Amino acid sequence: MYLIYQGFPFTKKSSSYNRHYWRCVHQKPLNCKAGIVQIVDVNRFKVMKSEHSHPLITERRKPGEFKALMAKQSENLHK
């Protein structure tokens, strides 16, 4: 499940009784700190941090691309 804000996709990280916490999907790979809180009762969104540590990435990683990359890396290791 994704939330798109200003073109950036966010993914739900955690929930408390009436709040959902959304973090940028690049939080881990790019150490991005952007986040949004969704207040469920009033159905409102509050931006915690709107700056991203990266530009807007619109290109999606093709399925299998990551696997191929890993295979290539282990190939190199065995040389």
In whole angstroms, how close is the CB of 22 to Zn ion at the nearest point?
11
Signed CA dihedral, 67, 70, 75, 76: sign only: positive
In whole angstroms, how close is the CB of 46 to Zn ion at the nearest point?
17
Distance of CA 26 to the CA centre of its chain: 4
Q: Closer CB to Zn ion, residue 51 or residue 75? A: 51
Window contacting Zn ion (CB under 5 A); options: 10-18, 19-27, 40-48, 62-70: 19-27
Q: Is residue 36 within the footprint of Zn ion (CB under 5 A)?
A: no
